[in-house]
Structure formats: structure tokens, C-alpha cells
Amino acid sequence: MSVPGTKSGEDWLQIGEEMHRWIAELFPICRSITGNGVRETLRLIQKRIPLTIQEVSSGTKVFDWTVPLEWNIRDAFIKNLRGERVVDFRKSNLHVVSYSRPVNQRMSLAELKEHLYTLPDRPDWIPYRTSYYKESWGFCLSHNQLLQLVDKEYDVCINASLTEGHLTYGEYCLPGHMQDEVLISAHVCHPSLCNDNLSGIAVATFLAQWLGSQPRRYSYRFLFIPGTIGSITWLSRNQQQVARIKQGLVLTGVGDAGPCTYKKSRRGDAEIDRAMAHLFKHSGKTHSIIDFIPYGYDERQYCSPGFNLAVGCFSRTPHSQYPEYHTSADNLNFVTSQSLAESLSYCQAAVDILEENKTYLNQNPHCEPQLGKRGLYRAIGGQAGEKSMEMALLWVLNLSDGRHSLLDIAERSNLPFQTLAQAASALMVHSLLALGPGHELSS
């Protein structure tokens, strides 16, 4: 496996396998936008990173929205009159439309059918449906299961509660030298779905664990929130702190085998947008970069015009472009250890760019300094990288006039950022380079 950074392919594979095993632990939990499934998920994340769990009461006004009633489910089934469960929540939590109101009654098949959802084109798959903001109830089942419902009447039970309670989210802050923050956001509101939900949770959690052991210029804020209402709630409660967020990524759908996709922030030219584009370009792999659209995940809220944060969305195959999306086929087989590891490696490489993207000043700007006598020319890097290291030294010296950051230089020179960062640190050692204005305190 070829991934950016210094870890070997074997190391990455092990990390990917560990993420996959952890996803398997989280998979059975019935999550929704509120309720005990979210709490249980956050507690499992808490075993890895010291997350703070926040509870916000139902009825709380959050901008134009209201925190909904809390939903919890214990059991649900459709039984035939012989008492056999023909649809059973215990077999898959996707069988119940999320936020279904409680039901307990015998009804005709015709009446029941108005509340059943299937995918006729994918007759073995169970769809995933929600009804958060409109009181209703329903069951999702495979189309083949539906075809077997031939009795006149069925006993239908959804043992759920929809009551005053809380919306729960998790927050983890890692302080750095600066108050300026990088936001990493993942949604935690989907039940047994792997790519859409669990892959983002896993990559965000492992990224947080890694960052905990790294020196940090930026501060980092990780949010594990229910989609849409969670980011709206967080933004509404933290308006004083929002201005600190300088960069950010929404992580979702980062475990399927498809190529990487980056959706730019609404600004389009933010540092994070450029860092992701740079990484993709130098990966040598198929990828796509798409412009911001006001549809998708929580980047919609972070990039709403009142905030306009530099937050993009990193995924692999976009959600609208894989048939397994929001179905029972988005399962443990759909997400691969390799993709999880590679996605994590991109996040780490993006963090490295944000951390190291500084502006320098050439201390010997009148003609080129003599690199050979300092052992810098044809002396740094391995055989294959020699030429690009020499070019990197020359580019960094030439453009370090206090007006070009390393990322600017990377884009102009078409050299990998990490090569330029290595060149800059070698030039610093030889006092040929000094940090530019604004970096004195944060270096």
C-alpha cells in the first residue's frame, strides 16, 4: 500500500485492521439523532480519547431549529398470526424507520403495507429510512421479505419511546500553541451502517489519538455529533468560539474501496482546500475534487453564510454514487482496512501540511548561497529523491521572501510539500532561512 507519511505499509495495514475491528464493535448499536445508542457509541469512543459528553434538552431552540424529543427503542417486530416474527428488529436495527412512534396493534396487510419500505431493484437489501421531524412509523425490509407477506393480518409492535430528553454529542479538544483551531467533525446518528457513519467515526477517533502524541501548533476540536441537528446545536451553543476555527474537515464515507473525494469548503481556496488538493495530486492515484454545493453532510452548516468556515468534506465514493448507500449492504464487508488506513493517512498528511505551512525569509537573498560548501548540494536525501531535494532547496530559497508559504511554493514548484518542508528545515539548520513574520511565537 502506498500512503503518504513515514509509516510502512505493514504498519498502516495493522492500523486499518484495528479500525475495522473497532467498527465491528460499534456496528450493532442502534444509533439515531438522539438516545442511548448515541450515548453508548460516545462511551466507546471515550475509551480511546477523553471525550466530553454534552447533553442538550429537548425543546432547546438552536437557530431556526428545535432540539427534538429523545427517541429510544427496545424492540420491534411484525408477527404473523402463528406468532412468528417475520420482520425482527433484533436481526437488524435497520428494520425500523428511525424515530418511529410506538405502535402495538393487529392490522390488515393492506394497512401495514402503507408503512413498509423496500428496494425492489435490490431485493435482498434492507433500506435505511428516518422520520425525525414528522411523527410517523414504519418498517424497512428486503423486497423478498415483503413478497412473503401473504397473510390477511399481522401483529405489529414498535416498542419505542419518544419523550422529553436530550440530544447528546461528544467533544474533544486538544490544545496547541495557538488558539486557532482545526475542526474535525463526524456524525454519529446512523444505526448499523458502516461507511456512512462508522468509517468517519473511526478515522476521526484514530486521528485524535495520533494527534494527542504530536507537537501541535494549532488546537484541534473533534466533534462527534448527530448529523444536521448536531452541528446546528453545536454552532448555536458556541458562537463565541466559532471564529477560532481556521480549518476543518467533515469525515464521512472514508472506508469504501472507491477513490478519494474532497469537497471544497464554500470559500474554495482555503488552506485546507489547497492542502487536500495538493495531497491528492501527488498521491498518483485516481481522485476527485468537487466544488462546494449546499447539499451533503455537516459542512453545509459550517459553511452556511453566517459562519462561512473553511471546512471541507473528505470522503471516498460520494454518498449519492454507490448503491449500498443507506442500505443494509453498507456493512462490514463494504468497508476495507486498506481504505480506512489510507483515509487516515491522508488526514494525518493534511494535518502535517497545516502544521508546517509557514512562511520563511531567505537570509542570503542576494544571489544563491553556495550550497555545496555547506554540504546541502547533492548531499541530502536518498538517490531517487536527490534531484527533487535540490530543486526544493532552490525553490524554498527563491520564494522565501516573506510572502510565500511552503504550500504556495509547493503549488508553484509542483514538488511535494514534505520535500519542501525537509528542505526548509535543512536551510534553517544552516541559518540560510528564518521564520517569517507572525511565526515567532508559534514555531
Query: Which parts of 306-411 are beta strand (E)?
Result: 311-315, 359-362, 401-405
Based on CB atoms, which residue is closest to Zn ion, 325 or 395? 325
Element (H, E) at 211: helix 200-212
Q: State the Cα torsion 357-358-361-363 to the nearest 10°.
A: -80
Give me the least distance between CB of 64 and Zn ion, in Å please.
Answer: 22
What is the contact mask toward Zn ion in residues 144 to 183, using x (rule: CB under 5 A)? Answer: ----------------------------------------
Based on CB atoms, which residue is closest to Zn ion, 188 or 427? 188
Where does this chain touch Zn ion (CB under 5 A) — which range of 53-61, 105-113, 193-201, 279-287?
A: 193-201
Order of all β-strands in the sheet with 359-362: 401-405, 359-362, 433-435
Rounded to whole angstroms, the Cα distance separating 267 from 421 reads 26
Rounded to whole angstroms, the Cα distance separating 172 from 278 reads 28
Pairing of strands 52-57, 166-174: antiparallel
Element (H, E) at 269: none
Give me the least distance between CB of 196 and Zn ion, in Å please.
Answer: 4
Where does this chain touch Zn ion (CB under 5 A) — which range of 191-199, 346-354, 365-373, 383-391?
A: 191-199
Give me the least distance between CB of 315 and Zn ion, in Å please.
Answer: 11
Asked if 196 interacts with Zn ion (CB under 5 A), we say yes
Residues 1 and 9: beta-carbon distance below 8 Å: yes
Give me the least distance between CB of 79 and Zn ion, in Å please.
Answer: 30
Instruction: Please work out the total of residues on this chain that contact Zn ion, with binding judged by CB under 5 A.
Output: 1
Pairing of strands 85-88, 103-108: unpaired
| Nearest of 322, 335, 311, 207 to residue 263 by alpha carbon | 311
Based on CB atoms, which residue is closest to Zn ion, 198 or 208? 198
Give me the least distance between CB of 232 and Zn ion, in Å please.
Answer: 16
Residues 40 and 224: beta-carbon distance below 8 Å: no
Residues in Cβ contact with 437 at an 8 Å cutoff, skipping those fewer than 6 apart: 359, 402
Q: Which residue is nearest to Zn ion (CB)?
A: 196
Where does this chain touch Zn ion (CB under 5 A) — which range of 110-118, 158-166, 189-197, 351-359?
A: 189-197
Element (H, E) at 332: none
| Nearest of 199, 186, 303, 291 to residue 245 by alpha carbon | 303
Based on CB atoms, which residue is closest to Zn ion, 181 or 196? 196
Give me the least distance between CB of 285 and Zn ion, in Å please.
Answer: 25
Based on CB atoms, which residue is closest to Zn ion, 102 or 318? 318
Based on CB atoms, which residue is closest to Zn ion, 132 or 218? 132
Based on CB atoms, which residue is closest to Zn ion, 196 or 352? 196
Where does this chain touch Zn ion (CB under 5 A) — which range of 178-186, 194-202, 262-270, 371-379?
A: 194-202
Where does this chain touch Zn ion (CB under 5 A) — which range of 44-52, 157-165, 196-204, 410-418?
A: 196-204
Based on CB atoms, which residue is closest to Zn ion, 196 or 298? 196
Contact residues for Zn ion (CB under 5 A)? 196
